[in-house]
Amino acid sequence: MSNDKSYKYFIEGERVYLREVRISDVNENYYKWMNDSEVYQYLETRYTPRSIENIIKYVESMDGKSDEIFLAICLKENNKHIGNIKLGPINWIHKFGDISLLIGEKDYWGKGIAYEAIKILTEFSFNTLNMHKLKAGCYADNIGSAKAFEKVGFEREGIFKKQWMVNGKYQDEIILSLCYEDWVNKK
């Protein structure tokens, strides 16, 4: 990508921008994310080994979908692709969608990147897509993810008890959500 200042990112934040995930993003780094047990520990994809070809097929299948918006999380300072965030599936009739994300580059864990990506996708979802409600779910042990969503304004709406099998034990799923009117009132 060029450093041309006239280029407009799809969605821009303070330190990161979100843009479409490209086939060119599927490289050795992306491959490492999807096969690193520490990175994928809270993803359901952890049960299937991922090849570069498999990842490319997934990225191709997501391109241009109207009910799922799949975006790369990139650093503004150097255009480095460090993770992905997705809105979807989107229910256009009832105006809600799920947000999920992955920060694949571990050097950026705990630095507020997930918070910023969630924040700018939330703003886009409410202001541009006219969503009414956004939802997210995370494993109970994924404390960082829950905190990032809560910092944006999401609230714990419920718990699915013993929902996920993790290392031979069942773990709860935390359900978080944010409605448009609550988001506006918290701003």
**126-148 confidence digits (pLDDT tens):** 999 999 999 999 989 889 999 99
2: in domain:
no
Residue 2 pLDDT class (50, 70, 90 cuts) = very low
145: in domain:
yes
150 three-state secondary structure:
helix
4: in domain:
no
Q: How many CB atoms lie within 10 A of CB 138?
A: 22
169: in domain:
yes
Nearest one of 108, 139, 99 to 29, comparing CA atoms? 108
If you write DSSP's letter for every residue of 107-126 in order, what string do you get?
GGTTTTHHHHHHHHHHHHHH
Dist. CA 87–CA 96, nearest whole Å: 10
Dist. CA 131–CA 147, nearest whole Å: 22
Which domain range does residue 151 map to? Answer: 11-186
**Count of domains in the chain?**
1
Higher pLDDT, 66 or 117: 117
CATH number, domain of 159, equals 3.40.630.30
Q: For CA atoms 29, 135, 44, 92, give the dihedral sign.
A: negative
3: in domain:
no
104 three-state secondary structure:
coil
29: in domain:
yes
First to last CA, the chain: 34
Residues 6+ apart with CB under 8 A from 106: 36, 38, 39
95 Ramachandran zone, left/alpha/beta (phi>0; psi -120 to 50) = left
Q: Tens digits of per-residue pLDDT, 98-123?
A: 999 999 898 998 999 999 999 999 99
48: in domain:
yes
Examine residue 89 and say whether the peptide bond preceding it is cis (omega within 30 degrees of 0): yes
5: in domain:
no
Residue 96: pLDDT over 50: yes
Residues 6+ apart with CB under 8 A from 79: 1, 3
Residue 81 pLDDT class (50, 70, 90 cuts) = very high
